[in-house]
Structures are given as C-alpha cells and as structure tokens.
Chains A and B, each alone.
Chain A
Amino acid sequence: MEEIGNLFHGFATVLAFRDMNIFGYTMSIPFNVILMVIGIVLGIIIGILPGLGGANGVAILLPLTFSMQPTSAIILLSCIYWGALFGGAITSILFNIPGEPWSVATTFDGYPMAQQGRAGEALTAAFTSSFVGALFAVILITLIAPLVAGFALQFGAAEKFAVYFLAFASFVGLSKEPPFKTLAAMMIGFALATIGNDQITGQLRLTYGTTELIAGFDFLIAVIGLFGIGEILLTMEEGLSFKGREAKMNLSIVLQTWKKLAKYWWLSLRSCIIGCWMGITPAGATPASFMSYGIAKRISKNGKNFGNGEIEGVVAPETAAHAAGTSALLPMLALGVPGSPTAAVLLGGLLIWNLQPGPMLFVENKEFVWGLIASMYLGNVVGLIIVLTCVPFLAAILRIPFGIIAPIILMFCSVGAYTVNNSFFDVIMMFVFGILGYVLKKCNYPLAPLVLAMVLGDRAEEAFRQALISSNGSLGTFFSNGLVSSIMTLGLIALFWSVISAGIARIRGTNAATAA
C-alpha cells in the first residue's frame, strides 16, 4: 500500500501552508488551496462561455504559471479543467447549448427537464454525477495506475476503430424518429466531418477550391448553431416564452435530488466503468458520454421516456464524461499521450516545467505526481461545493424574460463562435447551422446522430483506414485478436439489438404458446 502513503504525502503538499508576503505582512496561507478555488471559479466561467473551452482556458493561462512551482501550477491548471467540466453542463441544461463536445448528450434530457421547471434537479444531478465519475476515476488512478497504462498500450488502430464502432452502434436506433431520418441525419454528419484536410493522404477534400473551408467545420460552430441558435428560432416561433419560469430557487432541491440519485447506483457504476475505459484507451470523453447514454437508454426501465426529461439521461452521460475526462490524465502522465485537448495543453506545460511525462515520471517526480492526484480529490470536492451552492442562482436565470435573455445568448454564441478560430466566417457559419438546425427540427430529423457523426466521424474514419493500411486491406484485422473481436462483437450486438430482442421475444412467445 505504498500508493496510499504517497497519496497522503500528496495531500500534505496540497494543503501545506506557505509564508507569503502580503501587503508587507508575512502571513502563513494555504497557497495551493487558494489557487484551487481560483482555478475552479475561473474554470466554471470558462465552461459557461461557449467556444472558450477548457483547452483554450488552460492554454491562455499556461504561460502565467511558468514562474510558479510546477506542483502549484498544475494544481491551478487542473482545477480550471475540473471547473470547465462542471461549467459545460450548465449551458447545456439551461439553454440547450453544449459548451463542450461531451456535454451534447447532457442536453437530450437536461434541457427538457429545465423546460419542465426542473432545472435545479437537472443541475444537481449533473454536478453530482460529474463528481462521482471523477472520484471513481481518481481512485482507479491511485490504485492501479501502472496496470492501466499497460492496458492502454494494447490499443492500436483496429482496436480504436472498434471502440468508435461500439459508440456509434450503441446509439443507432435510439431516437423516436423514423430510422431512415436518423440515418440521413447521421450521413449529413459524416459528410460534414470529411470536409478539410484528409489526415491519411494529406490532401484537401470537399473544399471546392475555396480557402475558407480548408480547416473544415469546427464541431463547436456546428453545435452552437444547431442547438443554440436553432432553439432560439424555435422559441421565437412558439411565442417568445421560456418554459422554465417556475424554476424553484431553493437549496433543499439539492437534498431531494440526492435522495433520488441514490437509487441509480448501478447506472452510476456502469457509467463510471465506461468512462474510465474510454478515457484510458484514449478515445475520450465524447464517445464515453454518448455510449453511456445509449446503453442506459437500452437497459433502463424508463428507456422509452429518455429524451423527455428523464433524470437517468443526465446521470449517465455526465458520469461517464467526467470519469473519462479525469482518467484521460493517466495516459498523459504515464505514456505522454494526451487523452483530451486539455490534456494536450497540460502536456506542453509539463515539458516546459522540465518534467518528462512517461513511465519515469512516477519514479522521478513523485511529489509532483501525487500532488496532482491529491489535487484531483480535493479539487473535485471544492468544485462540487461551489457549483452546488450556485444551483439556485443558475436555475433562477431561467426566470429572466426571453426577450432579454435571447439577445444575450445570441451575443455569447457569436463571441464563442468567433473565439474558436478567431474567424468571422465561423460566425456566419454558426447562423447557417442555426437555420439548418431549425429546418431539421421542424422536419423531425434528430440532431443527435448528426452531431455524433460529426464529432467522431473523422476519428473513426482515420482509425479504420490506419487499420486497413497496416493489414494490407484485410478486414480480418478487426477480428484478429481477443480484444478487438470482443469489442466488435459487442458493437454488432448493440447495432442489431432491436432485431435480436424482437427475435428473443418471439422465441419466448412461441415457447410460451407451446407450453400453454
């Protein structure tokens, strides 16, 4: 149990008081704890503003931390990351605008809950689930870090494609809309994902000779447009009313929600496992959130009601996304491979602080690694307390009349779209996507498959082609070893589940009939 000892040493590092010279007085203050609170608050603000995601926030503040000790610096930066993870859920639930790719699945049930006046409940569920997911991942990192790093090494291109395939498969056939509309929406998403540079051949695709399209469509532009602007257009048509007016403004909502959440322990545990697996491999938090939502919808007794404001539909994606977001730091520390964009920026920071990520980091820079892990525990606790106390205020935002809040949302969306690439073309595209989103909704085309295909489409394509290049074009590579075969088989079962379950029901039916 050397790890436990190291961890407590880490706690001591984080909580240590340091003598600081403030206004001429020498005071002993818990410097790292103060940094932690600052980081979380900044992170939440960054998470709320669409476009300015955690990765950008950390990147902007990174150079400011070069004069700090590495341990203090990483505490500040990773707390911004936790804060942004918490903050991303807020706009998804209140305004249907996911600030980060992994918050998309949270909008499916979170936003309907807010519309029914249950914003406080949805926010509490989201924050608590995030905390549970992150905590589970940190405990995993603490106990079995070296083992887990070895597991990540097993994932080549074929295995990665299998994971993406499973994410798509567990999501297909879930929407209430006709299957062909779902398929059409998904194909639009795939088509949008292919625009720009083709990673495998290094050539430009579908740019039609223009230079505006060479970067492709950033996912955030599409999501801000499709969800945010599209939603505002719909609300305008429906007579400018926000449906969340009667939102309760009371802290007791937190306790009431917690009572409900305790029932869903199995759902939480399953989502944690999915999240950690996705974070470590590293496929990332986005497939984790979609996969977890998809599986929850299949397994839950209330599955049919998903999409209409079911609390399980908030718990599943949030838990998985945060378990993945947290465990994504493990491959970064142990292997030097970032599991998320934010982890990539932190990785750059490590190198500048003269710390080499990789297997030796755990041996040579114990204090740093365990200080970081300890700050994950404490940062998440501090974060949870901060966001939960904000729940009533956040829910109260919905009481503001739509005529006032809509222009503000529009402004934030435009600024957010601009910040993604500092390009005005993106702002125009955001409005184009807004109109597209409105039309699709009016015609009953589901947006979720479109977004899923757009986020994961190019990654899946890349892994598929990498696998085929290395197998000289043989599809057998997707069933070439135990790991990849079992993931692919799971994916195929998920894909044809509706057919299979119908078949099982029929067999049972005939059995029952013969028995009778």
Chain B
Amino acid sequence: MIKPKCNSLFVAAAALGFALGGTAAHAQWEPQRPVEIIVPAGTGGGADQMARAIQGIVAKHNLMKQPLVVINKAGGAGGEGFLDVKNSNGNPHKIIITLSNLFTTPLATDIPFNWKDLTPVAMLALDEFVLWVNADKPYKTVKEFLDAAKKGGFKMAGTGSRQEDQIITVAIEKAAGVKFTYIPYRGGGEVAVQLVGNHADATVNNPIEAVAHWRGGKLRPLCVFDGKPLAYNDKVAGDLAWSSIPTCKSQGLDVEYLMLRGFFMPAGVTPDQVKFYVDLFQKVRATPEWKDLMNNGAFNQTFMTGKEYADWVAKEHDRHLNLMKDAGFLAKK
C-alpha cells in the first residue's frame, strides 16, 4: 500500500518539479521598460563610444525587446553617475559601464561610494595603454627615452587628474627613477594632439586615441603596459602591427596597467536579472561589429562574469588603493 503511494507522490512531485522548471525557464526575467546605460564620463570618450556601440549593435541585431538608452553623467569625475546607480537600489533597468574611475574617483574625492555598492555583471574587455613619443624625437627605445628623461624637464600629458594616466606616470617614475611634469587634459584626443604639436614629451594614450597619428607618421609607440604583446597582427602603420610593440617589462620598465571596460548593476537585483545582461553581452560579443570595435582599439578581449569578475574587481580595487596611497593621491580626511 505504501509503495504505490510513494510512487504516485514521486510522480506528482516530479510532475510538479517539471512544471515549475518549465515555468521558471519560461518566465526568465526580461526588461519591462527601456534600459538606461549610465556612462560616468563625457560624450566621445572611450566608455561612451563603447556604450553607444553596444546600443547600436543591440538595436541592429534585435537582441532585446526594450530599447537601450545611453545617459552621460560625467560630473565630479564620474561620481555623479556612480551615485545615481547607487541610489537606484533594486532597479534592474539601469546598468553602468565603468572605467578606472570606478576606483580612482571615490579614493581621490572621498564621495560616499565604493564599488561594493554595485552588483558586478560582466567584464567586456580591458583597454590597453601604450607609451607614445613624437616621431620626430631621436629616441627609438624605452631605454633611450628614459635616459633622455633622466636629464629632467620632461612633460607627460594625460587624461584627467589622479586617474589612470597619472597613476601610470607615477608608476613609471618609481620604476625608472625619473621625474615627469604631469599635465592633465580633458580627453585622450586632446592629449594625443598635444604630443603631435610637441607641447608634451610623452603620453600613455590608449591605442584607439593615438592610432590615427601613428598611421600618419606623427607618433611612435615605445612599449605597451601589458604582460604580453597585443594580439593583433594586421599591419597598422607601415610594416608595423599592434603586435610589433614590445611590452614595457621586456624593455626594462616593469609597469603593467590595464583598464576595466565592464558593466555593473545597482545593488539588490536578482541573479535572474544579472543573467539576462550576461547573456545579452555574450550575444553582443558574437557580432561582427563588436569584433571590428575590438580590432580598431586593439583591446584585450578578456571576458569575465560572476565570482571570477567580482574577485578581479576586488583585487583591482586594492591595487588602486595601494598605487594611489603611494602616489599621495588619496583624499585628505
């Protein structure tokens, strides 16, 4: 008597489980209204370009039923954007694309924000940094450049203050025992032109910001701040490809720095909601337009999600804390 009952219970449970499983798969979360991509930087910059490219790709390939809207909140070195997302607890219709100011802005300005106020979604890519000099200058290697810089008075132009460009500059100073005068500008394009016009002696522009001048024969790359050479073998400038640029470490300058291009959501969202965006970004990454974008900017195409990504961000936060403490860039309490 007992057995059949058990059996029927089992069947019922199985049926119920199946039904539940079925509905769960069916009722996978989807955005109910337009989704905002917050860009904590101005229009035309690297993060903005990537956000708008994703918006275009999603619209063109119909990857989402609701539209994506890009909103720039650049005030306070991006602090405006971060606080906006922090204050949208539990809102699954808001995502934010970040650059290194996720770490540097709260540390340098003491605004009430920490990356832990957000839910990590996915790392889409890492942006590279290259040491550039004017092509008219005699130095062709890192060593020649640093020897010249040791005489003093070299000017390094960079984007923003107490942000990634200045952090790298300080790291070079420490590693090579030189001293630069760092001059902050508003954007990477402006920085590159200062170098072309000989108003500065070097920059650490991202590839996409300086590539046009490299191809035009105005700038020369000396080394890339990555652990291994760039993975792009297509000829870019004359016979040279991105992969021809040696790593700085191999040239005796032990500095490595990559910048996060990743997405976060507000705190208090469900795993289902995070999964929707992870899947969406995976679809975006498979499109030819995305591949073109990666190619143009010589991006490092590391993709991470979940715990792996959160751990990476935590580690990177500690690294920035140390770098900025060493450089004396922390906000005074």
Question: Are the C-beta atoms of B183 and A157 separated by less than 8 Å?
Answer: yes
Question: Are the C-beta atoms of A357 and B52 separated by less than 8 Å?
Answer: no
Docked CA distance A18–B74 (Å): 41
Question: Is B306 in contact with chain A by the CB < 8 A criterion?
Answer: no
Q: How far is the CB of B74 from chain A (nearest CB, A)?
A: 8
Count residues on chain B whose CB falls below 8 Å from chain A CBs: 63
Question: Are the C-beta atoms of B199 and A348 separated by less than 8 Å?
Answer: no
Question: Is B155 in contact with chain A by the CB < 8 A criterion?
Answer: yes
List, in ascending order, chain B residues with CB within 8 A of A155's CB: 197
Interface size class of A (residues with CB under 8 A): 35 or more
Question: Is B271 in contact with chain A by the CB < 8 A criterion?
Answer: no
Question: Is A15 in contact with chain B by the CB < 8 A criterion?
Answer: no
**B181-215 with Cβ < 8 A to chain A:** 181-187, 189-190, 192-194, 196-197, 199-200, 208-209, 211-213, 215
Question: Is A490 in contact with chain B by the CB < 8 A criterion?
Answer: no
Question: Are the C-beta atoms of A204 and B199 separated by less than 8 Å?
Answer: no
Q: How far is the CB of A28 from chain B (nearest CB, A)?
A: 26
List, in ascending order, chain B residues with CB within 8 A of A421's CB: 73, 75, 80
Question: Are the C-beta atoms of A154 and B197 separated by less than 8 Å?
Answer: yes
Question: Are the C-beta atoms of B44 and A338 separated by less than 8 Å?
Answer: yes
Question: Are the C-beta atoms of B49 and A351 separated by less than 8 Å?
Answer: yes
Question: Is A34 in contact with chain B by the CB < 8 A criterion?
Answer: no
Q: How far is the CB of B50 from chain A (nearest CB, A)?
A: 9
> What is the chain B residue whose CB lies nearest that of A352?
B53
> What is the chain A residue whose CB lies nearest that of B80?
A215
Question: Are the C-beta atoms of B73 and A344 separated by less than 8 Å?
Answer: no
Question: Is B161 in contact with chain A by the CB < 8 A criterion?
Answer: yes
Question: Are the C-beta atoms of A214 and B79 separated by less than 8 Å?
Answer: yes
Question: Are the C-beta atoms of A202 and B215 separated by less than 8 Å?
Answer: no
List, in ascending order, chain B residues with CB within 8 A of A197's CB: 75-77, 79, 109
Which of B42, B71, B77, B80 lies in contact with A202, CB distance below 8 A?
B77
With contacts A202-B108, A352-B53 known, is A196 near B75, CB below 8 A?
A: yes
Docked CA distance A216–B74 (Å): 10
Q: How far is the CB of A163 from chain B (nearest CB, A)?
A: 15
With contacts A63-B59, A67-B60 known, is A356 near B296, CB below 8 A?
A: yes
List, in ascending order, chain A residues with CB within 8 A of B197's CB: 153-156
Name the residue in B59, B71, B162, B199 with the highest tally of chain A Cβ atoms < 10 Å from its Cβ.
Answer: B199
With contacts A63-B56, A196-B75, A360-B212 known, is A201 near B289, CB below 8 A?
A: no
> What is the chain B residue whose CB lies nearest that of A217?
B75
Q: How far is the CB of A216 from chain B (nearest CB, A)?
A: 6
Question: Are the C-beta atoms of B161 and A200 separated by less than 8 Å?
Answer: yes
Question: Are the C-beta atoms of B109 and A59 separated by less than 8 Å?
Answer: no
Question: Is A336 in contact with chain B by the CB < 8 A criterion?
Answer: yes
Question: Is A359 in contact with chain B by the CB < 8 A criterion?
Answer: yes
Question: Is A305 in contact with chain B by the CB < 8 A criterion?
Answer: no
Question: Are the C-beta atoms of B199 and A156 separated by less than 8 Å?
Answer: yes
Question: Is A469 in contact with chain B by the CB < 8 A criterion?
Answer: yes
Question: Is A303 in contact with chain B by the CB < 8 A criterion?
Answer: no
Docked CA distance A204–B292 (Å): 38
List, in ascending order, chain B residues with CB within 8 A of A216's CB: 75
List, in ascending order, chain A residues with CB within 8 A of B267's CB: none
List, in ascending order, chain B residues with CB within 8 A of A462's CB: 186
List, in ascending order, chain A residues with CB within 8 A of B216's CB: 358-360
**A342-363 with Cβ < 8 A to chain B:** 344-345, 347-349, 351-352, 354, 356-361
Question: Are the C-beta atoms of A347 and B189 separated by less than 8 Å?
Answer: yes
Docked CA distance A351–B48 (Å): 12
Question: Is B100 in contact with chain A by the CB < 8 A criterion?
Answer: no
Docked CA distance A211–B86 (Å): 12
Question: Is B314 in contact with chain A by the CB < 8 A criterion?
Answer: no
Question: Is B163 in contact with chain A by the CB < 8 A criterion?
Answer: yes
Question: Are the C-beta atoms of B212 and A356 separated by less than 8 Å?
Answer: yes
List, in ascending order, chain A residues with CB within 8 A of B241's CB: none
> What is the chain A residue whose CB lies nearest that of B77?
A197
Question: Are the C-beta atoms of B181 and A472 separated by less than 8 Å?
Answer: yes
List, in ascending order, chain A residues with CB within 8 A of B53's CB: 352
Which of A335, A336, A354, A360 lies in contact with B296, CB distance below 8 A?
A354
Which of B77, B109, B163, B183 lies in contact with A469, CB distance below 8 A?
B183
Name the residue in B44, B196, B213 with the highest tally of chain A Cβ atoms < 10 Å from its Cβ.
Answer: B44
Question: Are the C-beta atoms of A202 and B56 separated by less than 8 Å?
Answer: no
> What is the chain A residue whose CB lies nearest that of B76?
A214
Q: How far is the CB of A286 from chain B (nearest CB, A)?
A: 16
List, in ascending order, chain A residues with CB within 8 A of B331's CB: 203
Question: Are the C-beta atoms of A66 and B56 separated by less than 8 Å?
Answer: yes
Question: Is A187 in contact with chain B by the CB < 8 A criterion?
Answer: no
Question: Are the C-beta atoms of A62 and B160 separated by less than 8 Å?
Answer: no
Q: List 7 A-B contacts (CB under 8 A).
A: A155-B197, A197-B109, A198-B161, A215-B73, A336-B189, A344-B42, A344-B43
* Besides A336-B192, A356-B296, 14 other A-B contacts (C-beta < 8 A): A62-B56, A66-B289, A197-B79, A202-B109, A204-B110, A204-B111, A214-B80, A337-B192, A354-B296, A356-B215, A358-B212, A360-B212, A361-B212, A472-B181
Closest 5 A-B residue pairs measured CB to CB? A215-B75, A358-B212, A344-B44, A214-B76, A202-B161
